[in-house]
Amino acid sequence: GNSVTQMEGPVTLSEEAFLTINCTYTATGYPSLFWYVQYPGEGLQLLLKATKADDKGSNKGFEATYRKETTSFHLEKGSVQVSDSAVYFCALSEAGTASKLTFGTGTRLQVTL
Amino acid sequence: DTEVTQTPKHLVMGMTNKKSLKCEQHMGHRAMYWYKQKAKKPPELMFVYSYEKLSINESVPSRFSPECPNSSLLNLHLHALQPEDSALYLCASSGVSDSPLHFGNGTRLTVT
């Protein structure tokens, strides 16, 4: 079956530090890959997505590249802000359907001044 | 502001109560979802409606009963819940095929 593995959190960074949250996946075929962010007390928001190998998703300074050879979709940001503090979920869906998202366990990011 | 609206935001109910969670979207999406999220865990899929028909039920206990009255509305009827059912219940919607899910802010349910 499909699975997503994320690095354990929490990740604690100072403001303006570089962020990497690792995500690797196991899936058959060519899944679509997503990063969702959940701010305290809220639902999940789509942060970025990529639907085929070598695609780069980007949004709000965050980037992730779909690497089929390493089955990875690592999230990066060059300079984090306190407002980026949240839980980040890596997820995949099988090609052609968004019905069944497989989520990673989530990584909590805490950014301090 | 989220485009998927869930009500109520918070709900406390006893184990003998009957209550309903409501979800509404006006993005023209034809797929709607219920997820359950326990603290410090990822969301778990419960139900999927596609074109107002139930297409996926992830072996959810019958004390949870979904309903999709029309393409914009999704309800989750609750009856005889257990304390372990306390969680954040998230509604989501999506367009066709690979369209990503849009989530509401959830209803935080406490069963006493």
Q: What is the per-residue pLDDT across A98-113, written as a single tens digit (0 to 9) for each?
A: 567 899 999 999 999 9
DSSP structure string for A7-70: --S-EEEETT--EEE-EEEE-SS--EEEEEEE-TTS-EEEEEEE-STT-EEEETTEEEE-BTTT
Chain A contacts of B94, Cβ < 8 Å?
A: 98
Q: What is the per-residue pLDDT across A65-97, written as a single tens digit (0 to 9) for each?
A: 999 999 999 999 999 999 999 999 999 988 766
CB within 8 Å: B98 and A32: yes
Facing residue for B42 by CB, picked from A34, A100, A106: A106
Q: Is A3 on the interface with B (CB under 8 A)?
A: no
Facing residue for B97 by CB, picked from A45, A96, A100: A96
A21 CB-near residues (< 8 Å, 6+ apart): A6, A7, A11, A74, A75, A76, A88, A90, A107, A109
CA A107 to chain B, closest CA, distance in angstroms equals 9
Facing residue for A103 by CB, picked from B43, B56, B98: B43
Q: What is the per-residue pLDDT across A9-23, written as a single tens digit (0 to 9) for each?
A: 899 999 999 999 999
- Tens digit of pLDDT at every position of chain B (112 positions): 569 999 999 999 999 999 999 999 999 999 999 999 999 899 999 999 999 999 989 999 999 999 999 999 999 999 999 999 999 999 999 987 667 899 999 999 999 9
CA B21 – CA B66 distance, rounded (Å): 9
Asked if residues B17 and B11 have their Cβ atoms less than 8 Å apart, the reply is: no
Q: Which of B38, B51, B97, B107 to mutate to test the interface with A (most CBs of A within 10 A)?
A: B97
